[in-house]
């Protein structure tokens, strides 16, 4: 399995019931909220660890990068400002997963209004 279906379900339970679409993408799972990329789940090919990809925006990026489990998102070898990878040590506890989902949804609401 290319991604953790249990993690996908944990995230799905925290998302609003409307304006959500989920689909397999690039070996992982991606949640679109309000027709915008919001949260993804895949497996790090180097470490084999499950991870989340979150779209948090450039404003919150630097502050959130300092949180437990957060890493720069660098699919192409270059950091993508506004997007983070979060590894299990940052989302295993429900309260931590709640925090990260809230961050992604907050940014999603900000860009929905633009």
Name the class of domain 5-95.
Answer: alpha beta
pLDDT band at 15; cut points 50, 70, 90: very high
Q: What is the pLDDT of residues 29-61, one digit of tens each?
A: 999 999 999 999 999 988 999 999 999 999 999
101, pLDDT greater than 90 = yes
Q: Average pLDDT in the 72-86 region? A: 89
The one-character DSSP state at 89 is G
pTM summary value: 0.92
Does pLDDT of 114 surpass 70? Answer: no
What average pLDDT is seen over the chain? Answer: 92
- Provide the b/e sequence for 78-109 (b: ≥16 CB within 10 Å): eeeeebbbbbeebbeeeebbeebbebbbebbe
DSSP alpha helix (H) spans, 29-74: 58-65
Return the higher-pLDDT residue of 86 and 20. Answer: 86
Question: Which has the closest alpha carbon to 64: 93, 107, 22, 30?
Answer: 107
pLDDT at site 1: 53
The reported pLDDT for the residue numbered 49 is 93
Spatial CA neighbour of 27 closest among 12, 47, 45, 10:
45
**What CA–CA distance (Å, rounded) separates 98 from 41?**
15
């Amino acid at each position: 399995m290319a991604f953790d279906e249990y993690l996908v379900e944990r995230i799905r339970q925290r998302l609003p019931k409307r304006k959500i679409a989920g689909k397999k993408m690039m070996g992982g799972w991606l949640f679109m909220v309000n027709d915008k990329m919001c949260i993804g789940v895949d497996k790090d090919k180097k470490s084999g660890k499950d991870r989340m990809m979150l779209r948090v925006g450039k404003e919150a990026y630097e502050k959130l990068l300092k949180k437990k489990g957060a890493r720069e998102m660098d699919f192409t070898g270059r950091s993508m400002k506004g997007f983070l990878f979060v590894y299990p040590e940052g989302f295993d506890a429900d309260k931590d997963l709640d925090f990260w989902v809230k961050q992604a949804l907050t940014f999603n609401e900000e860009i929905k209004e633009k």
